[in-house]
Chains A and B, each alone.
Chain A
Amino acid sequence: AQKITQTQPGMFVQEKEAVTLDCTYDTSDQSYGLFWYKQPSSGEMIFLIYQGSYDEQNATEGRYSLNFQKARKSANLVISASQLGDSAMYFCAMRGWLSSGSARQLTFGSGTQLTVLP
């Protein structure tokens, strides 16, 4: 079984500044995937970025980048040039084997509430 830990329940950042949201994971799998999702106050879950365990380069998607440090088992999300619309809950997730061993599925962390200040 795998575990995702997000140790920052809440974060504040000034508009236009960069912010890093922490995510650490625990797995015995050799092949896995790491995801970040954004959940605004409206409730929907929006896919942001993906990193495969064998990818040698850090993933980037526009203002989002994933700082992947495999040896430290961390997959931090970096948002550059924060905007007011970035205020939301952010979830880190890992695709790994279920405890039953029947299939691989997503396990989510507890989330980080990001507030962007004007």
Chain B
Amino acid sequence: DSGVTQTPKHLITATGQRVTLRCSPRSGDLSVYWYQQSLDQGLQFLIQYYNGEERAKGNILERFSAQQFPDLHSELNLSSLELGDSALYFCASSVRDHGDTQYFGPGTRLTVL
């Protein structure tokens, strides 16, 4: 158990809908990272927040957004969902910024029908 929690574990929704994925980092970790894992794209970095501020952006679509709250938990919002958004979404956390080891949560498996 990495200490990173993600909810829900599974999510099934329809095209065009909007969903929110939630992540709680390990106690004491200030950075939260979001990744998408799909069969065709592999594991891709989406976005990082550090102590409430957006720190870095990767291959995140404009339909996706995220935020980190004062208690350091983070939410990833996915809107206007398409079939291709079906994937495993991971949250990871680290103590400080990008220089530290990232510990991953169990993931949220999103299925868009």
**Residues in A lying within 8 Å of B, measured CB to CB:** 35, 37, 42-47, 50, 91, 95, 98, 100, 102-108, 110-111
Q: Is the CB of B90 within 8 A of A45?
A: yes
- Among the 9-residue stretches B54-62, B63-71, B73-81, the one with 4 or more Cβ atoms under 8 Å from chain A is B54-62
Interface SS of chain A: helix, strand, loop or mixed? strand
B43 CB to closest chain A CB, in angstroms? 4
B8 CB to closest chain A CB, in angstroms? 14
Known: A43-B106, A91-B43. A35 touches B101 (CB 8 A): yes
Interface centre among B2, B56, B92 (most CB of A within 10 A): B56
Q: Is the CB of B42 within 8 A of A105?
A: no
Which A residues are CB-close (under 8 A) to B105?
Answer: 44
18 A-B pairs besides A44-B104, A47-B102 with CB distance below 8 A are A37-B104, A43-B107, A44-B106, A45-B90, A45-B92, A45-B104, A46-B2, A47-B2, A47-B101, A47-B103, A98-B45, A103-B97, A105-B45, A105-B56, A105-B98, A106-B45, A106-B102, A108-B44
